Amino acid sequence: MFNQIEQVGFVGLGAMGSGIARRLMEAGHPVTGWNRTRSKAEDLLAAGMGWADTPREVAERCDVVFTMLTNTAAIEGAARGEDGLLAGLREGTVWADLSTISPEASVALSEEVAATGASYLDTPVSGSPATLAAGQMSVMVGGDRAAFDHVEQLLHAIGPKVTYIGPHGHAILTKVAINLALVVSVTAFAEAVTLVEKAGVSRAAVVDAALKSVIASPVIGYRAPLLVDDDTVYADVELQQKDLVLAQELGRRYGAMVPTCSAASEMLSAARSSDLSDRDFLVSVADVYRRAAGVEVR
Options 175, 198, 212, 242, the catalytic residue = 175
Give me the sign of the Cα torsion angle 66, 174, 158, 146.
negative
Element (H, E) at 223: helix 218-223
**Which DSSP symbol is given to 4?**
P
Give the C-alpha separation, 207 to 228, whole Å. 8
DSSP assignment of 127-183 equals: S-HHHHHTT--EEEEES-HHHHHHHHHHHHHH-SEEEEEESTTHHHHHHHHHHHHHH
Q: What is the b/e burial string over 111-143, where b = at least 16 CB atoms within 10 angstroms of the residue's CB?
A: eebeebebbbbbbbbbbbbbbbeeeebbbbbbb
Residue 47 exposure: Cα atoms within 13 Å on the Cβ side: 18
Q: Does the annotation count 40 as an active-site position?
A: no
Neighbouring residues of 117: CB distance < 8 A, sequence distance ≥ 6: 89, 90, 91, 92, 93
- Amino acid (one-letter) located at 257: M
- Please give the radius of gyration of the chain, using alpha carbons only, rounded to the nearest integer: 20
Pairing of strands 138-142, 125-126: antiparallel
By three-state DSSP, how is residue 295 classified? coil
Active site residues per annotation = 175
